[in-house]
Structure 1
Amino acid sequence: MTIHTTSLRPPDVEEDVQIPLGFLMEMTNATSEDALSELFVRWAIRMTNAERCAVAIQDSDTTFVVHQSGDTGRASAGRSHPIAGSLMGDVLFSREMRIVRHLEQQRYAGCRVLGAAGMGTIVAVPVIGDKLCLGVISATYRKARVVSPRDRAIFEVLASVLGAQVILLRQMTDLKRLVRTDPLTGAFNRNHLAHTAAQHWNDWMAIARPFCIASVDLDHFKLVNDSMGHAIGDAVLRETVRRLKSKLRSGDTIIRMGGEEFCILLGGMSDSAASPFVRRLRNVIQDTPFQTNDGLVAVTASIGIASPDYEDSSFDETLRRSDKALYAAKAAGRNTVVTHVRQDVMAAG
């Protein structure tokens, strides 16, 4: 069997390192840091003489997420491990490669556990990307041996490539978030609506999983902008989103449709179940005046809600019914919630 490779040379290494093209192709398809870490530990075992390999990516000030692979070549699911008191933590902060032998005699508890399991040597290389130390890639050998220059070079290359890929993934994630996020309020925007709408609609069509759309409009918001200025209006919009988010469930989505109009998607909830929930959303806006630089501002909202039924041919049709219920709420005097049902519009509170 022929394994196609390409050559890479890390800094301070005299010879090129042969990297399998299959590894590079898999790497380009990894869409998360977990998938990337699993990929690296699997291939590190194939490419070196190590018994075990691990990738630890820092996920907080105090913890790593660690993926490991043994001689089976399978990567374990990522687990959280403390940074403090670990060899990998010391490598993270020093940003220098460490080779440690006689593991059973080391002060690191993790090394002593490996030593008790018959391991003799560990090499740990910092993963650096965009001048940041992001984590550590390590390899364990069964004997207290000298790590070959070839293996050292491979791990330096893997650490360098992993650092670059982690930074690239994070930049892509940030870009996707920016494309789908309203910069003023932090709510999602219309670009995100299409993606989320498709998920809800597909679940409804496939397994009849209900969802509810709440169309929200701040009452007389133009008066706030005209009388107090757009800076105050912007502050009111930001606080509105903050308050709504504080009451939403983890899977719910709030989208700024434009101006003072918002759309809230409530997954797994029919309109009858959503009605009291949405009334609580209305109350969180009206119950406490908004504190601004120009004093307190009283704000209320009109809300229309609708859930799909089998006469709806698309998500957009359900959204139009939610909008109709919103218009009815405004016509009924504002600061109310109205539910749209077929052939009628029924006030819900």
Structure 2
Amino acid sequence: MPTERKFPPSKLSTLEKGQEIKLPVEFIQELSSALSLQEVLDSVSQWIHKLFDAERASITLQNGHDFLKLYSISGNKAIPLDYDVPIADTFVGRVFSKRTLTVCDDLEQSHELDCQLLSQYGLKTCMDAPLISGDICLGTLNVAHNQTNYYTELHALKLQCLANWIALNIRLHLQVKELKYLASTDHLTGAPNRRAFTTAIIQSIREFHEQGKLFFIGLMDIDHFKALNDRYGHNAGDYVLRKVVKVTEDLVGNLGHISRIGGEEFAIILNQSCEQEAVKLFKAIKDALANTVINYDGEEIYFTVSIGVTHIAQGDDTPESLLKRSDKALYNAKSMGRNRVNTFTTTRLLN
């Protein structure tokens, strides 16, 4: 059995009386000025590396039900950045699951995966603390040294206190990130919402005028969507909306993105410099959706979309002119039979 020492909260509380933790002012200022979660994690790992005279300091955060991901490392790269560490059968996973700071005094005696990796790179001992905020364990804060039996009870107290303080900071950043996501995401389809679309198109217009990056915009509307809802029910309509986003995202890939800007209306920003290629992709989206069959509640649901397309021009300084042209193209597509792609720059329908 490996040599281990465990420090549950009850044991650490007996060590707290009369103890003080002194931190560099630079650390406090750097942490308070961090604008992103990654900046917080990088700052913490670098300073923990110094404060504990460690060969390696790292931070993991939970990544799904079964893994902890390494988000920041300072020092020895025995376990690389972005590595997914299994929660099961690992030292760091036990610390996370049990929510108990634990010291492995001799890594060579451990058969757990992460301890073996650290040992192979010359490290002799490690100490991992759970990042606990309220009733949630977010991940772990870890240090390792090249001497066995290096860490003391006071080291353990200090690391856990820092982990508790840092966990609060991390949780606040995660909550802000979640709020931003909710504010910019359509809850039904998972696509960016109208607010996010407005931000994106303003940015695309700016990049066109500053860097010459051409882009196209397509307004897409599901044909006869009210009739579909009336016939099959709103739950079926919701399923159709989600399917539209999924099919479109798969086809657009990294060339752009789709946003839901209204009930059954979507906007697609396509980063493309060739009109022929852009229209070809919009046609592919239209055809793929027309060929989509949704099996819902024992029935097969078919639907089509109409798309109005235009591209950025020198006179476009705000989204309004682009939206007006693409909306006119969409109106023409619908008035001429639906299930069509129509561009503002030509009256020819591209079926």
TM-score range, shorter chain: 0.7 to 0.9
Aligned to 2:73: 68
Contact 1:124 1:138 in 2 (8 A): yes
SS in 2 for 1:16: coil
- Alpha-carbon distance in 1 for matches of 2:30, 2:61: 19
- Alpha-carbon distance in 2 for matches of 1:110, 1:258: 49
Deviation at 1:251, TM superposition (A): 5.2
Q: 1:244 to 1:149 in 2, by over 3 A?
A: same
Aligned to 1:278: 282
Q: 1:62 to 1:333 in 2, by over 3 A?
A: same
Aligned to 2:23: 19
Contact 2:101 2:156 in 1 (8 A): no
Q: Show structure 1 runs of 5+ residues with no match.
A: 1-9
Normalised to the residue count of structure 1, the TM-score between the two structures is 0.83
Contact 2:205 2:317 in 1 (8 A): no
Q: 1:70 to 1:297 in 2, by over 3 A?
A: closer
> Alignment partner for residue 163 of structure 2, among 159, 164, 172?
159
Contact 2:105 2:124 in 1 (8 A): yes
Aligned to 2:215: 211
Q: 1:156 to 1:306 in 2, by over 3 A?
A: same
Greater Cα offset, 190-199 or 41-50: 41-50
- Alpha-carbon distance in 1 for matches of 2:113, 2:301: 58
Aligned to 2:349: 347
Alignment of 1:168-317 (within 5 A): 168-250=172-254, 252-293=256-297, 295-317=299-321
Contact 1:340 1:346 in 2 (8 A): no
Aligned to 1:132: 136
Amino acid corresponding to residue 335 of structure 1 in structure 2? N
- Alpha-carbon distance in 1 for matches of 2:71, 2:182: 29
Q: 1:141 to 1:347 in 2, by over 3 A?
A: same
- Alpha-carbon distance in 1 for matches of 2:155, 2:254: 45
In the alignment, is residue 44 of structure 1 matched against residue 48 of structure 2?
A: yes
Q: Show structure 2 runs of 5+ residues with no match.
A: 1-11
- Alpha-carbon distance in 1 for matches of 2:229, 2:82: 50
- Alpha-carbon distance in 2 for matches of 1:222, 1:113: 59
Normalised to the residue count of structure 2, the TM-score between the two structures is 0.83
Contact 2:223 2:305 in 1 (8 A): yes
- Alpha-carbon distance in 1 for matches of 2:302, 2:125: 67
Alignment of 1:52-63 (within 5 A): 52-60=56-64, 61-63=66-68
Contact 1:91 1:126 in 2 (8 A): yes
> Alignment partner for residue 79 of structure 1, among 82, 86, 94?
82
Amino acid corresponding to residue 178 of structure 1 in structure 2? L
Over the matched positions of the two proteins, sequence identity in percent amounts to 28
Deviations 1:84-136 (A, max 9, x none): 54322232233221222233343346545545655443221122234333322
